[in-house]
Amino acid sequence: MKNSEITLEAPQLKRVLTRGDLIIYGLVILTPTAPYPVYGTVQQVSGGHAALCYLVAMVAMLFTAASYGKMSVAFPSAGSTYTYVQRGLNEHLGFLAGWAMMLDYFLIPLLSVVYASLTAARWLPQVPYLVWALVFSLAITLVNVQGIRMTARANVVLMAVMSVSTVLFAGLAIRWVVAAQGVAGLLSPAALFDPGSFSLRPLMLGAGIAALSYIGFDAVSTLAEDSRSPERDIAWATVAVCALQTILCVVTVYLAAVAWPDHRSFPQVETAILDIGGRIGGAWMFGWITFVLLVAGLASALTGQAGASRLLYGMGREGAISRRLFGHLDARSSTPTRSVWLMGAISLAGALLARFQLIVELLNFGAFVGFILVNLSVIGHYYYRRRSRRLWSHLLFPSLGALVCAYLWLSLTGKAKLVGFGWMALGALYLAVITRGFRVAPRRLEV
């Protein structure tokens, strides 16, 4: 065969993930145990309405998940939010949406590494926090550079551990309540809605915090080019992940509220779930939940890093950010390894420099910017450009999703807004430079 007849195809992401893999991936990045770290705070600020807060947060997330699903059908790309807004609204807005989600995707694995390191350092205090941060950052990076198939296998194991914990917590809570109050004790209207302490503003504040348990569901759409049937499976999996997450969260926080009705008596708000675990199961359950929180942190870091690397790959492939660095795929593993290693370095540096509380406050900022713009992209692409007249699915539902997300976004703390808008201003300045004052499309960066 002549050399001229030999063609070498550029590496591509491997289409190996099934619908089940996508659902597991989404649930792992959200984690079935997501209510554990924030339960006490949500329950207290909402006046004992944590379960209702999760139902309110679900409304915004389901509308937004449906919008992600619709856009993934039109544009099955690893670029996810960046691609959807770019194609549905405007290329410059697409870049800013991707820039906002970069903040979110950077913070998900970073927050998880920090939380896992803090937990491990308290578990084995003789090992310094610095060592744990290095170990966890390196471990998740080494798994992800092996390829998405390896990540998917790890997800199955981690998902099994967290699912066992969720079922165990529910079973012990039910047993304890029945033993203390009888079967009738499981039916407590006050655990869902208490007219004596209900107020709309605290409820929405609690819903905004509860939304943290959903942040990251959109990462399912970053695996469009790893999926066997993205046009069919991404939309289905994204909505399914949000619905299943709601069920898991509502059941967990409802039973927690029934087992410990007085939210004003928590010994420590931030670790209320540990005290409830100790009440319903004793010291061993207290220790088990601590272990599971460690596992959940590693699982979220693993999947968050995978999603972040693919968002960067989608933007780098089109030249919106450095194509040489971020648009590279490893020929052997078909994985954006340079992006993965960069994410590992950021997680390690952030774990050593950033405060846990600030990371938590910033998580919602980037997410809600992206969510708002993706909802609007459905309207722009389907209702205006394609002249669709499906009023409910292509206009009203995404409009409601954008409005609810905007309300939650504006409810963030002043510190989160200050840092978040600073990040967006930096992105706008960078965009102005590479587009010569917004006169050309942001796809020209070759370095």
The model's confidence at residue 15, banded by pLDDT at 50, 70 and 90, is low
Q: What is the mean pLDDT of the chain?
A: 79
pLDDT for the residue 172? 92
More confident residue, 183 or 37: 183
Can you give the pTM of this predicted structure?
Answer: 0.72
Quick: pLDDT tens for 145-199: 776 566 566 667 777 877 888 889 999 999 999 998 888 888 888 888 888 788 8
The model's confidence at residue 255, banded by pLDDT at 50, 70 and 90, is very high
pLDDT for the residue 378? 92
pLDDT for the residue 426? 92
- List the domain boundaries for the chain: 17-434
pLDDT > 70 fraction of the chain, expressed in percent and rounded: 85
pLDDT for the residue 4? 44
Choice among 289-303, 363-377, 410-424 with the minimum mean pLDDT: 289-303
pLDDT for the residue 446? 40
Q: Which CATH class is domain 17-434?
A: mainly alpha
Q: What is the 3-state secondary structure (H, E, C) of the chain?
A: CCHHHCCCCCCCCCCCECHHHHHHHHHHHHCCCCHHHHHHHHHHHCCCCHHHHHHHHHHHHHHHHHHHHHHHHHCCCCCCHHHHHHHHCCHHHHHHHHHHHHHHHHHHHHHHHHHHHHHHHHHCCCCCHHHHHHHHHHHHHHHHHCCHHHHHHHHHHHHHHHHHHHHHHHHHHHHHHHHHHCHHHHCCHHHCCCCCCCCHHHHHHHHHHHHHHCCCHHHHHHHCCCECCHHHHHHHHHHHHHHHHHHHHHHHHHHHHHHCCCHHHCCCHHHHHHHHHHHHHCHHHHHHHHHHHHHHHHHHHHHHHHHHHHHHHHHHHCCCCCHHHHCCCCCCCCCCHHHHHHHHHHHHHHHHHCCHHHHHHHHHHHHHHHHHHHHHHHHHHHHHHCCCCCHHHHHHHHHHHHHHHHHHHHCCCHHHHHHHHHHHHHHHHHHHHHCCCCCCCCCCCCC
Indicate if the pLDDT at residue 219 is higher than 50: yes
